[in-house]
């Protein structure tokens, strides 16, 4: 993929990457903080789809096709110990349909890293947009969390 533009400080400028297609999948890592109680169990909450609180930052994701092109699986690169205990994925089309941007933001320790940004603050990640991304999400193979449901799921884990 073509390297994204960076500002003078070296940060990737929010963009909608032309080499990310509508059916490409974005992976969002899930931490215990992203879970909420429901009945006798837990489910992934829409708060899992909130951007970073740092100015100009979006919501961190991993770009599945870059992982696959490198001959790896998401399970190979996403640790499920420490801060993250699982991962979900959703198509690029979902964020674009919500007026958000999906771009590649490679990091030194994670060349598969991307971000989802709002086009203009403050219209970034409204609760409604977060819920729509969650509704379109499915567990990433090998990274589901036992006993935790996705909304609209009745038997996932």
What is the pTM assigned to this prediction? 0.91
Q: What is the largest CA-CA distance in the chain?
A: 50
Task: Quote the number of domains for the chain.
Answer: 1
DSSP run (H or E) holding 103: strand 100-104
What residue numbers bound the domain in which 87 lies? 25-144
What would the 3-class secondary structure string for 22-64 be?
Answer: CCCEEEEEECHHHEEEECCEEEECHHHHCCCCCCCCCEEEEEH
Distance (Å, whole) CA 145 – CA 42: 10
Residue 20 lies in a domain: no
Residue 83 lies in a domain: yes
Residue 149 lies in a domain: no
Residue 93 lies in a domain: yes
pLDDT of residue 155: 47
pLDDT in tens, the chain (157 residues): 899 999 999 889 999 999 999 999 999 999 999 999 988 889 999 999 988 867 668 999 999 999 999 999 999 998 766 789 999 999 999 999 999 999 999 999 999 999 999 887 655 788 899 999 999 999 999 999 998 988 766 544 4
Distance (Å, whole) CA 68 – CA 66: 5
């Amino acid at each position: 993929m073509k390297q994204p533009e960076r500002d003078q400080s070296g940060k990737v400028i929010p963009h909608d990457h032309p080499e990310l297609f509508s059916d490409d999948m974005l992976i969002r890592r899930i931490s215990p903080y992203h879970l909420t109680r429901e009945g006798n169990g837990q489910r992934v909450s829409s708060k899992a789809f909130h951007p970073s609180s740092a100015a100009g930052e979006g919501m961190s994701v991993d770009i599945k096709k870059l992982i696959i092109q490198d001959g790896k699986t998401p399970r190979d690169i996403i640790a499920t110990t420490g801060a993250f205990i699982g991962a979900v994925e959703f198509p690029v089309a979902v964020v674009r349909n919500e007026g958000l941007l999906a771009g590649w933001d490679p990091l030194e320790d994670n060349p598969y890293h991307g971000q989802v940004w709002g086009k203009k603050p403050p219209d970034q990640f409204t609760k409604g947009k977060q819920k729509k991304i969650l509704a379109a999400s499915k567990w990433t193979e090998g990274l589901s969390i036992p006993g935790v449901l996705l909304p609209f799921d009745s038997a996932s884990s």
